[in-house]
Each structure stands twice: as C-alpha cells, then as structure tokens.
Structure 1
Amino acid sequence: MPFKRQDSIHAPIDTTPSLKNSPGSKDDEEEEEHELSGVGLDKKVPLERNNDAHYHERKAIDPSALGVDELDPANLLSNGQERPIETAVDFSTRLIATVDDVNMPIHTLRMYVLGLGLTSFAAVLGQIFYFRPSSLTVSSLFIVVIADMLGRLWYMLFNALERLTQRFFPTEYRRPIWTFINPCEFNLKEHTATLIMSTTAFSSAQAISVFAADELYYDLNPNYGISIFTLIASQFLGYGIAGLMRAVVVYPSYAVWPATIPTVQLFQLLHNDKDIAGQRKRMKFFLLVALGIFIWEWFPEFIAPTLTGVSIFCLAKRDSVWVTRIFGGSYPNEGMALFSVCLDWAYLSGASSLYTPLATQMSLYAGVAVSATLLLTAYAGNVWQAQNFPFMAQDLFYENGSSYDQSLILNADYSLNRTLLEEQGLPWFATSMAIYYLGLNLSIGATITHCLLWYWEPVKEAATAFRSRSTDDAHYRKMLEYKEVPMWAYGAIVVSSFAMAMATCYTGHSHLPWYGVIVAFIIAIVLFPFVSIFPAITGWQVSIQTLVLMLGSAVVPGNAQANMYFGLYGSNAATQGIAFASDLKIAQYTKLPPRTTLWVQSLGTVLGGILQIVISKQIIGSHRDILLDPAGNNIWSGQNVQSFNSQAVTWGALAKDMYSPGSTYDMIPLSVLVGFGVPIIPWIIHRYYPKLRMDLFITPLFCYTLGYLAAGINSTIFMSVVTALLTQGYLRIYRPTWFRKYNYIMSAALDAGMQVFVFITTFALFGAGNGTTVAMPNWALNPVNYADYCYLDDSS
C-alpha cells in the first residue's frame, strides 16, 4: 500500500468537515452555506454572468493556496507545524478542493467549439504522426494549457464585441445572444469537459493499427462502416466495464489516482481564487518553471545532447564493452546506465517521480537493482544462449545470432507455413528480452493475488457503501448533487459493444471466430478490476498485452490477423477502461457531473475515431508503397504498422510453438502461475512483523521490473531515484507546506513547458513539417558519433 495506513486502507482521518448527514438535510444546507461563506458566497444569490467580481468569489477554495495558519487543526502537529501528507484522504482533500458550485455553466457553445476543435486537432495530428518517421505525442497537460489560452481569448474577444454592440442593439435583443455565446469566464468545468473530450483522440487508436495492417499486409480494406463500428466497440467496451466497476476503482478515497493530481491542481490554479496572494504566488511559480524548462530543453534536446546521459564511468573508459553494458544507456539498447545522470526532462518526465507515491517508486527501483544483477548474471552464464545475441535487443534471432527473417516462414497471406518453419527453425529472443517477458507475466499473476490479499476488504466495503450511497469520500459526497449514470446504461454499453464486435468480426473478415470474441471479452472483464486498482492506488499501470496475445495464440493458433483482433478486444479494451476510470476521477475531483463526463468522452471517441479512420485511409491509399518499404522516406514511414504486424505474426503464428511445454521459453507463460504465489511471502511477513512495513512493498511492480532494464533508454533511472527521494521523500515529510503548495504544480509546469518545446521543435527543427531536419553543429557536447561518449558496438 503506497499510502500510510490508519486502521485500514480506506480509513479516513478527520481532516475535512463532517459529512455524516444525508444529502438534502437541513444540517447539510447549513454546512454548505458555511463552506460557501468561506469564499464570500451567498447560497441564495443566483449566478449573474455580467457580475464578474461576484462570479470570481463563487470559485472554490484551493487548499494548496492556504497558509499554515489557515489549516484545519487536524492537519497540524503539536508544535504548530503542518503534518506530512501521508494517507489517501490527505492526498485527496489537502491537495484538491472539495467545494463545488452547482450552478457553474458546462454545456456552453464555447465548451463544444473548443472541445470538438481540439479533438479534431489531436485526432488529425496524432494520426498523421503515426505514419511519419518522427513521432509527436500530445499530452493532456499540453491540451490543458492550449484550452486555457483559447478559452480566455474567447471570453475577452466576445466581451469586447459585446461592448461594441451596446450602442447599436437594445439590451433585450443583445443580452440573450451574448449570454449564449459568452455566458461567463472560461470556467473549471468547461475546461475539464474540454480536456476529457479531446484526450480521447490525441493518440492513434489501436484499431487503426489493425485496419492499417489489414490493408497493407492482408489485402483487406474494411469499409468505413465496419471500421467505425469496430473502433467504437473496442473503445466503448472499456468504458462500459469501467462504468460498471466505478464504485470500487473511482469513488472511494483510497482510489487517489495519483497521476491525475498535477492536472487537477493545474485546473485549480487556473480557475480558483485568483485574487488570493498565495494563489498568485503559485501561478508565478508555475509560469517561471514552465518558462525555465522550455529554455533548458534546448540544451539536452538540441544544443548539447550529451546531457541526456552523463556517465563518468564511460568517460573514464571508452574501450570496454562491459563498461558500456553496465554504465551506458542514453541510447536504446545501449546498456543499463547505472548511475548515469540524465538532465533531460523529456526523458525524466516518463518516470512520474514527482507525483507517484514513494512506496511505489521504491518497489520499482528495488526491482531495477535485482534486474541489473539478473541480466548480467544471465548473460555471463550464457542462459538461453545469451552470448550468441546482443546484450539488449527486441528482435528475433536464429540460434547463431543473425536476425530472424519472418517472411521466410509465412505464406503469401501471412499465415504460418509449417514446412518452412521446420526448415528455418524456431526463433530466439535476446536473453534480456526473455527475462523481460518473464517478469511481465510474473507481474500479472502477482497483481491478482496482491489485490486479493491487500485490497479485498476495502474494495468489498466500497462496493457495499456504493449500494447504500454512503461512500465516505468528501468529493463523492459532493457529486451526489448530480444525476448518476445508471448501471443499466453501462451494462447496455458492454452488450452493444459485444454485438458490434461480433458483427464486424465476421463482416470485416477478421478471422477471429465467435468464441474468440467471447474469450477476449471475458478476459477484459475479468482482468479489469485487478489492473485498474493499481493505477488508482499505486499510480502504476499493469500491462496485460503480452498475456492476452499469448492466450489469443492458444484460442486461434497460427493466425496473426485473428490475434490482432483478439488483442484489440482483450488488452486494448482494458486499457481504454483504465483511461475512462482516470477521467471519471478527474471529473469527481473537479465536480463535473457523471452524465456529462460519459457524454463528452463518448463524443470525443466517436469524432476522433472517425477522423482517424478517414485520415489513415487517405494516407494508406496515397502512400502505400512507401509505407510498405522498411526504409520509408523523410516524410512518410510505415514503421509503426510494420512493428505492429511483426508483433502480431510473432505472437499469433509462433507463440504456440515457442511457449509450449518442453520448448525453450516454456517458463514465460508458466511464470503467470508462479506470480500468483509471490505476494504471499511479504503478506505473511507483515502479519508477524508489521514494523517491517511490507504492506508498502508492491510485489507486482517488483516482478515487472525484473526485466525493466532490457529495453529502451535507461539513463533516466538514477536521476528518477534522486527526484523521488527529494520530492516524495524529503519534501513531503520534512517540508510538507512547500510540498502541498508547489510540488504538483512544479510537476505540471515541467511537463507543460517541455511539451510546448517538443511541439514547436518537432515542426521547426526535427522535420515534422517538410521532412527537413536542422542539425546542430558538432562540438564537445554534440560529438560526431554517439553523444554520451559511451557507446561501444556490441558486435565488437
């Protein structure tokens, strides 16, 4: 458990006003009037759009802007200092405002124009870059910043236009028009709805990868109707599952969803208490940090790339392959980057060190330490013929170490040819990659047991409380003011998704039989509560894609195309459900009504999906030959589709042979079963030795990181540990006031400033616009070859 316990994981401490009374009681009304009076509000005064000063006063108090002398005594130590933020209730009430304005406009013309506009922008941009050699990821914080700028501009522009029309049109004609166009300042709930709508489309849907592979490799061209309904089914299945289980993964206090806190705090900073000195100081801090990181990123990303990974060990000895394997790591598959110093926030931001609970991060880095030992030992011991292959690689190999050519074992329709397979032999993984898959499957089994051992009681009580509408969470109690989405509606979404999936799988010639669709749906539904509770509590998301693809190869063996669709409805649906649950939590924190949340999520998904399908079909139709070419060109590349199809072939056509009992890698699927037993050991230790705090040890995360160093750029790890210990360790415990006021705003500012930099330079310098890149002249921190001075070719 990543947060400090009292009696149990769900036990709140008395840090907020009592919520004992039922909604609508006289005591509740008196309590609400008392809360609103704290911000100068009269509950009986209606919201007037032309009284901006009064509207400002109606904004909720941001607890992060309070001084120590304004805190509830329950949040102070005996010496008068603020106590550390430790429990789940602390995080959700001392960092996020619980006050709500039920009269705040949401369904405004401005919200729909901005929401639909940004959804279209994100969908088109994300889909174009899916087929480009350079990548661009639009983050939610980037959308928050852009939406805020556009919302404020809208308000100022139409306010000015309204003043210009005063002399020409009578008030009785003018007022209704301008009230419809510009009812108030751009507010918190409009902003939240805009974000939720647009973030559904800022990355290419997995269904698009399936359609692109169908068209490029399997000579299938699903029409627009089949494509749209397939995409909707795969996305909405996850939404329906998340909605059915929201009582245990969204509403309770233990479901903090740590990754949402920086976004919610940024919302509060932009909209609440602008006239309070403490809030203005926090806004200045945010702007300075965002500007500072925007300026700084020019150095590691362009001027001085060496700053992405500085290793004194490699600088001291550049002629040893083992030094590179152990201490190098600023390039993919270079090494483990032990003690390498990364000064590039574009890489460090992925570690989420500023907002992920310390217990989660320490469990991860404990696994990383074991991973380093395990990878080195396995390679030195030649486990699975390790020394025949590169130390780190994601490709498939022949046993002699040469790259495996999958095309030599496939028929023209990309189905497996067993005669050719016998001639070529089964492929091999680099040993580091095999260990990665081993750890991944261990973590899935451990996830289920860990949830049952540590989270079963609070989850059970949360489900019971939801049925009686007595969930003891300050934010949830405020949400009772709004109409809930009924359970039958979410159930209908799941049933409708199943019907659409079943129909499109046959009409679209997916090769996935009816029983394959059923099994994929069952997997998504059964695994969702386990894989969603982890990001809700620990901030870490479990990956089930590998397991689902393995199971798909058993259900429909030897068929890569069917395996793609199996993964679409199995793992992708669970991933979409997690994303929707996260959005529901943001909505709960910002008091966006549940029905509005589902509506804008659905609207963004449908619009974004349609645009992505149209754009992808146009690109494939115009540049088919280039997309099939492994090299592509400087403007278009099919690398993402090629990689996706290659993975489908690997798992769909070869998994049964590679992982069957007695095969080289039979331990990889069996590790799921082994993982079931891993959490039992720390659970038993905690029962007898509670002072060891094994309840803070996240066993699935530890298992997952056993192969953590096997891929990617590892130079971020050391600085991520330092950042975690500094922020979630030292500042949270010993400087709690600074932590409450600035830590999450700093996280949002760093990510927002970095995203603005990436967006600008991707077009201006790195070839996203016309395919032409701008090169920085070589100098000491931008050498001719490898920027870290560390890399030594593994073949040498």
Structure 2
Amino acid sequence: MAEKKSDVLVDIHEVSTNTTDSQNKSEFNEKEHDRPKVQAFSVENLREKAIARLESGLHKDLDDLRDMGPAMEYLFDQMMTISEEEAVVILENAIDYHNDDENFPEETLRKIKKLALGEEEYGTDHEDYVLDLMLEATLIHFHSPYPEVRAICDPMDDPTLPVETIRAYFLGIVWVGIGAFINELFSWRQPSLKLKSTAIQLLIFPCGKFLAKVLPDWGFVLFGTRYTLNPGPWSMKEQMLATLMTNVGATSSNFMSYVLVMRLERFFGQKWATFGFVFLLNFSTQFFGFGLGGLLRRWVVYPAKAVWPSLLPTLMLNRTLLIKENGRPINGWRVSRYKFFWIVLIGIFLYYWLPGYAFTALSNFNWMTWISPTNTKLAIITGSGLGLGFNPWTSFDWGVIGYSTPLNIPFFSQLNRYIGMLFAAVMIVVLYWKNYKWSAYIPINTNTLYNNVGTKYNASRIVNDDLTLNLDNYKNYSPPFISLGYLTYYGSEFTMFTLSFVYVFITEWRRIKDALVGFYTSIVNRKASNYDLYDDALSRHMAKYPEVPDWWYMILLVLSLVFGIVACQAYPTNTPFWSVIVIIVICIVLLIPSAIIYSVTGYELGFNDIGIIVGGYMIPEHAIANMICRVYGWNVDAQAESFIGDQKLAHYAKIPPRAMFRAQLLAVFIQVFITIAATETAISSIPDLCSTTQADKFYCTFPNALFTATLVWGVIGPRRTFTTLYPMLQWAFLIGALAAVPCWYIRKRWMKYFKYFNPTLFLSGMTRFESSYNLSYYTPGVEAGFLFMYYIRRRYLAWWTKYTYVLTSALSAGVAFSAILIFVSVQVTKTTLTWWGNTVSSSGVDGAKVGHLLTLGEGEYFGPTSWE
C-alpha cells in the first residue's frame, strides 16, 4: 500500500512545483530508510499516545480522525515508516504548496509552520512535539490534509473489488435513460424538477442489492478474465461506477434550449431543425466536452488542491449506503449516518408538501411586500419576483435555500459571491433611481427584451425570413432595451472573462506550467505515466491502474469537430465552419482558469456568453449562426467541467481510469439520444410551451433568455449594441484584464487579510442578476452556509465531517422525490388548494412580475432618437 515509487521520499508538492526551493529540500535514499524510525517511543507507546491525544480533543484540526475506524490503523502503520527528518520535509513542502490555499485548514497551516521550525518554536516537550509532527506529516503524505476529503475516501485501496460488472453497466444504462429524460424535460419548468445525483444514487443502491441477491453466477471468460452476472455482494466501486454514469448522462448539463428557440413559433419557428441536425450538433458538443475534459486531468484531477467541494456529497452518500460504521459517539451523537440520512429524507419529503403545495408562501416568502401589495417601489427593492430580493429571510423551502448548494460549497466561496451580489444590488438601485440608460421605464430585473415604449420587443418586425436583420424595419421600429439587472450581468461577466484568465494564470502558473510539461511528455513518450509527477496518497494508489492515453481523447475531439462542421454545412445555419473552430479555441483557452476555479471553490463560472459576443462580430446579423456559436461556447465548457469533475470523483473512489472512460463514453452516447427524445416530447406534448402563462409552469426561463440574447448580440449585433445603447460594456473586457494584476498583488502582499478574497468569485456574484434570479434565492443559502460550513465546521469538526454531506444529500433527495410526487399527483390533475397561504405571495405587483419606476405618457417613448 505504501511502496515508494522512487529511492527518494518526495512529496507531491515538491515534484509538481519543480522549484529551486524544492530541489534544495533534504532527500532520503534507501540506506537512510534502513535507520531506526521514530526513536522517542516504542511502536505501541506511540500508537497509544496518538489515540489518547486525538480522543482528548487537543487536536481540533484533526477532530474528525476519532471516527475513521480501520483507516486510523492503516495510518498508524504508515506513521512508523517515516522518520522525524522526513516528516519535517513533508511539512515544509506542504507549507510551500498550501500557503495560499483557501481550502487548507487555517489552524493546521499555523500548526505545521510551527512544527517545521522545530521543537523549541513549537513550545512543547519532545514527546509531544514528535507525536504532533508525525501525525500531521502522516496525514498529509498518506491521506489528505482536507477534513472534507478524509470524510469521503479511505487512505487505502482494495483493487480486488468488482468495478466493471455487467450489473453495474445495466443499472447505469437504465438510470442514465430515465434521469436524462426527466431532467431534460423538467429543466424548462420554473422551479425546475431534477433527479439529482443523490436521488439517483438512492435508486441505484436497492437495485444493485437486489441484483446481487437474485442473479445467478453465470459468466464467460474473455481474454483471460471471467465476466459473470453476479460476482458477489454489491460493491462500493460498482455503486460508484453506476453513479458516475448517471452523473454524466443524466445530471450533467446539456444545452438543448436552442432547439426550442429554433423550433417554436413564439421564437424563430425553424421547422428544418429536426432529428438529423440536432443529433449532429448534440453529438459534437457532448463528445467534444468529453474529450476536452480528459485532457484537463493534469490541471484539475491529479493536483491535491483540486478538492472539487461541490462533488463530495456524492461519494459520502455511497459510503453511507454501503459502509458499516463503528458506532462511536461523535459530539454526543450516536446515530449512524445511514439512519440519520433516512430520518432527514423522510422528514423533508413530508415537510415539502407545505412549501411545495399546501402553503406556497413558505417557499416564496416575500413577506415584506405583503405590507403593501400594490406598492411598486417596495416590490422593486424587497420583492422575490419583480425586485431585487432585499429580505433577511426569503424562504422556508429547501428547494430555494439549497439552490446555491450551501452545505457543500466552502463558506469563503459563498461569501465572496454573496458580497459581490450585494454590491451589485446596491449599484442597481442607485442607477435605477437615476434612470440610467432609460432603465426606470422597464422592470428592474428581467431577461425580457423591451422596445422604446416599454412593451415586449417584437423580433418578427426586424428580421427577414432567413432570420437576418431587416435594417429598414429596425430603423422604423425600436432599439432593444435590457433591464438594469441584465445589464449588470453582462458587464460583470465581460469583466470576469478577462480578469479570471489573467488572474488564474498568474496565481496558478506553476500548476499550469507543470501540466503543460506533463502533456508534452505524454505526447513524445507514450509510455510515460501522468502519475509520475505526483506522489500524494491518491495518485500512488491510482498509479497501479492502466491510464487512459491522451490520444484516445484527442480522437474524440477530432470526431466531434467533424460532426459539428457537417451539422453547420449540411443545414441552412449560415454558420461558416471556421467560426465554430474560433469559438472552440477561445473556450479551450478560457476553460483552464475556469476549471481550476471550479475545482477549488465549487462554483462553475461558465463562459457561455463569450460565444454570442464573438459570434456577433464574426457573423453579424444572423440569429441561428449566433445561437450555434453560443451552443459551442456554453456546452463544450459546461460538459468538459462536468466530465472532469466526475473523473475527480473516480480518482477519490479509486475507480480504474479506463473503466471510467468506457462508462463515460457509453453514458454520453445514450444521453445524446435521450435528450433529443425529451425535447421532442416537450415540443409535441406540452401546450403553450415557454409561455409565461403555461399552466404547468413550463415557462422556459433560459430559452427566453437565450432568445433575448440572440436578438441583442446576433441579429442586432454587438457593434450596434455597444456603440449606440450600452457603449460602456465594451470597456469591461479591458477593465477585467487590467484589474487582475492589482488584485493578485494586493492578495499576495497582504495575504493575512486577503487570503480568502477572490475577485473572480466577487464578479461571479455580480452576475447572479440574470434570468429573474435575485437575492431571495441566495440569502437563506448563505445563512445556512455560515451555520454549517463556518460555525459548525470550526466548533464541531467531527460532527461536521460525519453528518453534513449526509444532511445535504438527504435534503436534496427528499425534496426531489416529493416535488416529483406533487407534480404527478396534484399538479398534473389540476388539483389546486386555494387559500391565503397559496395566494398572498402572487397577489401583488411582485407576484405579477410587472412594474417599473417611471411611466410614459400617451405617444411618448424613451431612448435615443436615432439608433443606427
């Protein structure tokens, strides 16, 4: 388990950074390993003292180790294999690597800095110093310094556990199909209904146990390996493989909204966009993201800093379902994770009937507008529908509270985005009351496009039959106006594009450089292993399995590109093939910083709008071409980050890389067809689809936003929009690029005060005023995040590591199951419950989402007198 891969004990951080400092570190050859190890104690004495100190609570940063069971025995064994000198080197390398790491526990960093300086600086007797030194070094080198990672994976691996079994693939295929169909169909509903990973895991688990019980041990031998229907008990690796298939095929993002915008008469009404075109484009974008994700492994899978906090509950739930606990009390709690999970799930399943059906005011708790329901100004400031959502508590519905996944995202990340959102909200209020860019004549925060008399923009008046701009009609009609919330979204996003690129390349240059060197090495030497550059515990375990060669992923990239070019050229898209290549190249460049930020903070930035801006310049006045540029700009990026996140989960679960590749490949292929089927079902079966009055709430929030963006940036184009209406937006790109260096310098110079400030996340928070979302969707989440991810984590670490991820999984699964049951039982049958608790939230101007600060007189209009 703990074999050295070279004659030298080298920490992952020393190898991966490859700096002069690390080369000057002390190295230990094989002869030095022969000397006696920790001489201060006998083996038994060291183990007993370590257990006693952990039980006493003296190590607050290691409090979670009290519940690790067999893993602790393994770590104690490994602790005997290193010397004091080696432990110091491990800590010195960790300090160098993690000094600016927001996820690395601050208390642990302070402690290991003192330990690395020596016994005198640490301030304890020799025995305590040696013991603390060995404990910290052992965790870093043989497990993980992150409590959240220690909570979801073991420091050892059992390569004999079954993984790629027939039953695992069968269940993966079944639930990819079911999950992809349901999630795609209900993604256009507001609020959307989604079978998340947690819900699907719960459905896979009993199916796997059932198959393990009833299937016979029938099999065959192929290339010396026996494949059987029933290799024994349902294993955690089988559960994880099936889960990862459904993550890829059912819960990852797939940009199918463009099909609705192209096909529906209320949008562009292009009947030629049938199965052939959609299949080619879907296949191209999905598999290109898959291939690109595979090539990103060196940046965001292998490095220890790439924690991927948003994905950790997935693995914790599988552990809860399949691994027995030792039953030791944690902070006074004896309830097992398994029992706790089901108590919470059943409780929230029953409770959700209140905010989800019987008392919907608990969900949309816009109580401040109830004081004066017809007061437009009050609704603009405090409302959840029309306004900005200034409200101390906006919901008692976990579907709203958990919208920003507050129980698995680090609190520093949540706070950065929330502060950015508050800053944007105050700025919006000030500018709105000043009627900046005529914004006070339209709602303050909406994704709907308006004309110069304050009504919805009629796109049919300015486009030709081929969806190009009719300039004369445009001159005689009106320029397009967007809300101040949407304007803030665009300005912040454009600034974020360039700032994140420059900022991440400065702050993470060593990681990016080493990954590029590793990629080049793998190309020139196909026998080289990616894991040779990494010596953390996870990489040492994964090095036992054959890797996926980079050229496998590169073949997918080429094939995907060919499919995309065929789709653009064989159908009347007006999209030259070179424009797709330009968008893809830009996405690849931006994806590296985006994926790095996602892997550390848990938030996906998304660069979907870069496609429509660049597309608007490359192919002006063409709606469909612009939308296809956005499909590539968004889907390739989102899919790549989704695939690479699942590869990190496989890394944590120690799933063989080639098994993961085959499972992902199959899942994506199935998803391509299932999502097309779901889209066709929606178009043919849901009446009044994408209308704001659709009976079953299939309002299509994002397709409407896509339609708006396509008109602004595609038909009218960024040149007209920038120069005539909103010229300040074009400066946002330059501002972002210039601001990155000062932000980096300030954080580096005053690390003590700005360690947890991230300018990219701050700007990302400012982009949250988009598609009618506002503070009401995030305020209760950041409050829940403070309680669990800051207060409880710091005060009760053992409880936090044992229960928090289980809690968020149970809440999400319970709400998902309850929402689906409510929909199919009472909403589809139009069984309504009419009383004050279900009408008060929607009875005023906030519920109607219609209202603005200024009004026009008869025959008046706002905006410029000439807009061409």
1:254 aligned onto 2:305: yes
1:182 aligned onto 2:230: yes
Query: Pick from 665, 671, 674: which aligns with 2:735?
Result: 674
Structure 1 SS opposite 2:469: coil
Query: Pick from 410, 422, 435: which aligns with 2:488?
Result: 435
Partner of 2:395: 342
Partner of 1:42: none
CA contact (8 A) 1:218 1:414 kept: no
Superposed CA offset, 1:658-696 (max 9, x none): 433x3221222331221122233332223433321x132
Superposed CA offset, 1:743-779 (max 9, x none): 1111212112111212221211222xxxx32212414
1:147 aligned onto 2:204: yes
Partner of 2:465: 412
Superposed CA offset, 1:183-213 (max 9, x none): 2222212112212222333369756444454
Partner of 2:783: 722
Partner of 2:768: 708
Query: Pick from 721, 746, 766: which aligns with 1:659?
Result: 721
1:563 aligned onto 2:626: yes
The residue identity in structure 1 corresponding to 2:717 is A
Following superposition, the deviation at residue 453 of structure 1 comes to: 2.4
Superposed CA offset, 1:585-622 (max 9, x none): 111011111111121111111112123334544664x5
Superposed CA offset, 1:393-413 (max 9, x none): 221112332222111111123
Gaps of 5+ in 1: 1-5, 12-19, 28-33, 39-61, 163-168, 173-177
Partner of 1:98: 155
The residue identity in structure 2 corresponding to 1:97 is D
CA contact (8 A) 1:446 1:679 kept: yes
CA contact (8 A) 1:336 1:372 kept: no
Structure 1 SS opposite 2:388: coil
Partner Cα distance (1:604, 1:281) in 2: 33
Partner of 2:712: 650
Superposed CA offset, 1:515-539 (max 9, x none): 1121122112111111111110111
The residue identity in structure 2 corresponding to 1:649 is L
Q: 1:277-676 alignment to 2 at 5 Å?
A: 281-310=336-365, 313-316=368-371, 318=373, 320-329=375-384, 332-461=385-514, 467=530, 469-617=532-680, 620=683, 622=684, 644-660=706-722, 662-676=723-737
Q: Which moved more, 1:647-656 or 1:220-229?
A: 220-229
Following superposition, the deviation at residue 129 of structure 1 comes to: 3.7
Q: 1:221-232 alignment to 2 at 5 Å?
A: 221=272, 224-232=275-283
Q: Which moved more, 1:528-537 or 1:425-434?
A: 425-434
Partner Cα distance (1:355, 1:630) in 2: 33
Question: Do the aligned partners of residues 789 and 723 (structure 1) sit closer, same or farther apart at CA in structure 2, a change above 3 Å counting?
Answer: farther
CA contact (8 A) 1:440 1:543 kept: no
Partner Cα distance (2:279, 2:13) in 1: 49
Question: Do the aligned partners of residues 774 and 713 (structure 1) sit closer, same or farther apart at CA in structure 2, a change above 3 Å counting?
Answer: farther
1:198 aligned onto 2:249: no
1:758 aligned onto 2:810: no
Following superposition, the deviation at residue 424 of structure 1 comes to: 0.9
Question: Do the aligned partners of residues 447 and 8 (structure 1) sit closer, same or farther apart at CA in structure 2, a change above 3 Å counting?
Answer: farther
Following superposition, the deviation at residue 569 of structure 1 comes to: 2.1
Question: Do the aligned partners of residues 473 and 94 (structure 1) sit closer, same or farther apart at CA in structure 2, a change above 3 Å counting?
Answer: farther
The residue identity in structure 2 corresponding to 1:234 is T
Superposed CA offset, 1:146-176 (max 9, x none): 1112112222344xx88xxxxxx9x99xxxx
Partner Cα distance (1:475, 1:461) in 2: 18
Q: 1:257-268 alignment to 2 at 5 Å?
A: 257-268=308-319
Following superposition, the deviation at residue 305 of structure 1 comes to: 1.9
CA contact (8 A) 1:63 1:95 kept: no
The residue identity in structure 2 corresponding to 1:373 is V
Superposed CA offset, 1:4-31 (max 9, x none): xx999999xxxxxxxx999xxx99xxxx
Structure 2 length as normaliser, TM-score?
0.76
CA contact (8 A) 2:344 2:811 kept: yes
Superposed CA offset, 1:482-518 (max 9, x none): 1111111112211221222222221233221021121
CA contact (8 A) 1:207 1:230 kept: no
**RMSD of Structure 2 on Structure 1 (CA):** 3.9
Question: Do the aligned partners of residues 636 and 494 (structure 1) sit closer, same or farther apart at CA in structure 2, a change above 3 Å counting?
Answer: same
Structure 2 SS opposite 1:99: coil
CA contact (8 A) 1:218 1:413 kept: no
CA contact (8 A) 2:609 2:633 kept: no
Following superposition, the deviation at residue 303 of structure 1 comes to: 2.1
Partner Cα distance (1:297, 1:141) in 2: 17
Question: Do the aligned partners of residues 635 and 462 (structure 1) sit closer, same or farther apart at CA in structure 2, a change above 3 Å counting?
Answer: closer
Q: Which moved more, 1:90-99 or 1:289-298?
A: 90-99
Partner Cα distance (2:257, 2:825) in 1: 28
CA contact (8 A) 1:347 1:716 kept: yes
**Paired-residue identity, %:** 23
The residue identity in structure 2 corresponding to 1:99 is M
Partner of 2:324: 273
Partner of 1:737: 798
Question: Do the aligned partners of residues 759 and 63 (structure 1) sit closer, same or farther apart at CA in structure 2, a change above 3 Å counting?
Answer: farther
Following superposition, the deviation at residue 243 of structure 1 comes to: 1.1
Following superposition, the deviation at residue 787 of structure 1 comes to: 7.2
CA contact (8 A) 2:622 2:715 kept: yes
Question: Do the aligned partners of residues 299 and 209 (structure 1) sit closer, same or farther apart at CA in structure 2, a change above 3 Å counting?
Answer: closer
Structure 2 SS opposite 1:137: coil
Partner Cα distance (2:193, 2:567) in 1: 31
1:782 aligned onto 2:844: no
Query: Pick from 52, 66, 72: which aligns with 2:68?
Result: 66
The residue identity in structure 1 corresponding to 2:350 is I
The residue identity in structure 1 corresponding to 2:244 is I
CA contact (8 A) 1:306 1:787 kept: no
Partner of 2:170: 113
Question: Do the aligned partners of residues 308 and 9 (structure 1) sit closer, same or farther apart at CA in structure 2, a change above 3 Å counting?
Answer: farther
Superposed CA offset, 1:340-361 (max 9, x none): 3421101111212111112211
Question: Do the aligned partners of residues 188 and 341 (structure 1) sit closer, same or farther apart at CA in structure 2, a change above 3 Å counting?
Answer: same
Superposed CA offset, 1:688-737 (max 9, x none): 33321x13211011122235346325324332222122112111112111
Partner of 1:747: 808
CA contact (8 A) 1:374 1:706 kept: no
CA contact (8 A) 1:311 1:339 kept: no
Q: Which moved more, 1:749-758 or 1:87-96?
A: 87-96
Following superposition, the deviation at residue 125 of structure 1 comes to: 2.6
The residue identity in structure 2 corresponding to 1:66 is M
Q: Which moved more, 1:672-681 or 1:434-443?
A: 672-681
Question: Do the aligned partners of residues 714 and 365 (structure 1) sit closer, same or farther apart at CA in structure 2, a change above 3 Å counting?
Answer: closer
Partner Cα distance (1:21, 1:238) in 2: 43
The residue identity in structure 2 corresponding to 1:201 is G
Partner Cα distance (1:719, 1:682) in 2: 29
Following superposition, the deviation at residue 366 of structure 1 comes to: 1.6
Q: 1:123-142 alignment to 2 at 5 Å?
A: 123-129=180-186, 135-142=192-199
Partner Cα distance (1:743, 1:665) in 2: 45
